[in-house]
A = this chain, B = another copy of it.
Amino acid sequence: MIKTNFVGARLCAFGLVVLSGCAMLLTGAACAADPLASWNDGPAKQSIIAFVEKVTHTAAPEFVPLPERIATFDNDGTLWCEQPLPVQFYFALDRVKTLAPQHPEWRTQEPFASLLKGDLKTALAGGDRALLELVIATHTGMSTVEFEQIVKAWIASARHPKTGKLFTDMAYQPMIELLAYLRANGFKTFIVSGGGIEFMRPWADKLYGVPPEQVVGSSVKTQFELRDGKPVLVRLPELNFIDDKGGKPVGINQHIGRRPLMAFGNSDGDREMLQYTQGGAGARFELLVLHDDAAREYAYGPAKGLPDVKLGAFTQALYDQAKTAGWTVVSMKDDWKRIFAFEK
Interface of A toward B, CB cutoff 8 Å: 67, 70, 144, 188, 197-198, 201, 205, 211-215, 219, 222-224, 226, 230-233, 240, 246-250, 253-258, 272, 275-276, 278-279
A279 near B232: Cβ-Cβ < 8 Å: yes
A231-B276, A255-B255, A279-B230 as given contacts; A213 in contact with B201, CB under 8 Å: no
A255 near B223: Cβ-Cβ < 8 Å: no
A233 near B255: Cβ-Cβ < 8 Å: no
A272-B231, A279-B231 as given contacts; A253 in contact with B213, CB under 8 Å: no
Least distance between A82 CB and chain B CB atoms (Å): 22
Q: Which of B222, B257, B275 contacts A213 (CB 8 A)?
A: B257
B256 near A224: Cβ-Cβ < 8 Å: no
10 nearest A-B pairs in the assembled complex, by CB-CB distance: A212-B257, A224-B246, A231-B279, A231-B275, A213-B256, A224-B249, A231-B276, A201-B257, A224-B272, A222-B250
- Interfacial chain B residues near A248, Cβ < 8 Å: 224
Q: Which of B211, B213, B233, B246 contacts A223 (CB 8 A)?
A: B246
Least distance between A39 CB and chain B CB atoms (Å): 28
- Interfacial chain B residues near A275, Cβ < 8 Å: 226, 231
B257 near A197: Cβ-Cβ < 8 Å: yes
A224-B276, A231-B275 as given contacts; A254 in contact with B219, CB under 8 Å: yes
Minimal Cβ-Cβ distance residue in B for A211: B67
B249 near A231: Cβ-Cβ < 8 Å: yes
**Among A67, A219, A231, A255: residue with most chain B CB under 10 A:** A231
B253 near A233: Cβ-Cβ < 8 Å: yes
Minimal Cβ-Cβ distance residue in B for A200: B257
Least distance between A102 CB and chain B CB atoms (Å): 26
- Interfacial chain B residues near A250, Cβ < 8 Å: 222-224, 233
Minimal Cβ-Cβ distance residue in B for A222: B250
Assembly CA distance A205 to B258 (angstroms)? 12
Minimal Cβ-Cβ distance residue in B for A279: B231
A253 near B215: Cβ-Cβ < 8 Å: no
A-B contacts besides A188-B213, A197-B254, A224-B250, 20 pairs, CB < 8 Å: A67-B205, A67-B211, A201-B257, A212-B257, A213-B213, A215-B257, A222-B253, A224-B248, A224-B249, A224-B276, A226-B275, A230-B279, A231-B249, A231-B276, A231-B278, A232-B279, A233-B249, A233-B250, A233-B253, A255-B255
- Interfacial chain B residues near A253, Cβ < 8 Å: 144, 222, 233
Assembly CA distance A240 to B253 (angstroms)? 13
- Interfacial chain B residues near A212, Cβ < 8 Å: 256-258
Least distance between A211 CB and chain B CB atoms (Å): 6
Least distance between A72 CB and chain B CB atoms (Å): 11
Least distance between A273 CB and chain B CB atoms (Å): 9
Least distance between A73 CB and chain B CB atoms (Å): 15
- Interfacial chain B residues near A188, Cβ < 8 Å: 213
- Interfacial chain B residues near A223, Cβ < 8 Å: 246, 250
**Among A70, A219, A233: residue with most chain B CB under 10 A:** A233
